[in-house]
Amino acid sequence: MKNPFPYSDSNKRYHTYTCFLSRRFGGKVSRVPLNAGFTCPNLDGTKGRGGCVYCSPAGSGEFGGDPRLPIREQFSQVAARMAGKWDTPRHIAYFQAHTNTYAPADTLRRLYEEALACPGVVGLAVATRPDCLPGEVCALLGELARRTYLTVELGLQTVHDATGERINRCHSYADFLAGVEKLRARGVPFGVHLIDGLPGETREMMVETAKRVGGLRPHLVKIHLLHLLEGTALAREYREKPFPLMSRDEYVQTVCDQLEWLPPECVIGRLTGDGDPETLIGPDWSRKKLCVLNEIDKELARRDSWQGKRLGSMPAGGAAPG
């Protein structure tokens, strides 16, 4: 069956990050995860304590650098470690662990500039919370967006505030929308992180999240599976009162539903995450990431569907957006 989706350089019926970066930069680009040693207002008591219930002590930075090292040294070490998988001279410096705008603007400038000066860096990705975007930080991000390829990735996870309270997110959907508008006002491309399988959420709720996020026209969306990890509040709760984890088929069907509501030009940063295999409690099937991605491909082909199909339009060509 011929692939009808133009934002593709393979059999994928969704707009992969690999395809977007290859078209924009003329070849393969790797993302080098960094850990600048930030904390989070949901850890230090400003907004809450303990963090989001699914968040590991590393703040999603398990695969990043050593926060005790300068950014340049971290970058060199992590890039060398990744070279076997990503043999490319082009890199995006990815500030991943915890909340990467949660510091004075001068401190952020120094760290971001150090990363941009690393060999082969063609862009910057900054993961943060939507309620950690004060004016001076947004001004800095706007300046950087005019100089380099920048994406600010906002942790939303779900548009449903009841779930947000359940997972101790300590910010609301309204806070997220306000953060998006701050970035838009400065011309900063934004990405959104979603998590499927959060306790109490139905398939319909997860699809509703994708619909609303798609309506905001983000540059990038990452869809993650909820990983239950040792050392998290959610793991402790699970042992005391178990709740259902998504099956692989449930996840595949939900992701395909979500993709159908996301605009075709929106870049899909990922469709499943990597749980640390040493601390992963479940779902166990998530260890076979390639199998999950293959099942998504097969289901989209079976449906004769693609990203954005339910929006009723298809872009005329496959040129990557600027």
Residue closest to 169 by CA, chosen among 219, 230, 123, 234: 234
**In 92-134, which ranges are continuous DSSP H helix?**
105-116
Residue closest to 299 by CA, chosen among 261, 267, 252: 252
Q: Does residue 60 carry a pLDDT above 60?
A: no
Residue 62 lies in a domain: yes
Of 26-30, 41-45, 148-152, 194-198, the poorest mean pLDDT is in: 41-45
- Measured over the CA atoms of residue 118, residue 119, residue 124 and residue 125, the dihedral's sign is negative
Residue 207 lies in a domain: yes
Q: Region 16-24: what's the mean pLDDT?
A: 94
- 282 φ, ψ (degrees, to nearest 5): 175, 170
Mind listing the pLDDT tens digit for each residue in 121-173?
999 999 999 999 999 999 999 999 999 999 999 999 999 999 999 988 989 99
What is the per-residue pLDDT for 24? Answer: 95
Which two structure tokens, joined as six digits, stand for 171? 């910010």
The whole-angstrom distance between residue 122's C-alpha and the CA centroid of its chain comes to 19
Largest CA distance in the chain: 54
Which distant-in-sequence residues (6+ apart) come within 8 Å of 302 by Cβ? none
Count of structural domains within the chain: 1
Which structural domain, as residue segments, surrounds residue 36? 17-303
Grouping H, G, I as helix, E, B as strand and the rest as coil, residue 249 is helix
Residue 196 lies in a domain: yes
Residue 312 lies in a domain: no
- State the CATH number of the domain containing residue 69: 3.20.20.70
Residue 254 lies in a domain: yes
Q: Region 174-200: what's the mean pLDDT?
A: 97
Residue 282 lies in a domain: yes
Residue 186 lies in a domain: yes
Cis peptide before 283 (omega within 30 of 0): yes
**In the chain, which ranges are continuous DSSP H helix?**
17-25, 71-82, 105-116, 135-147, 161-166, 173-185, 203-215, 233-240, 248-259, 289-303
What Rg, from alpha-carbon coordinates, does the chain have? Answer: 19
Residue 8 lies in a domain: no
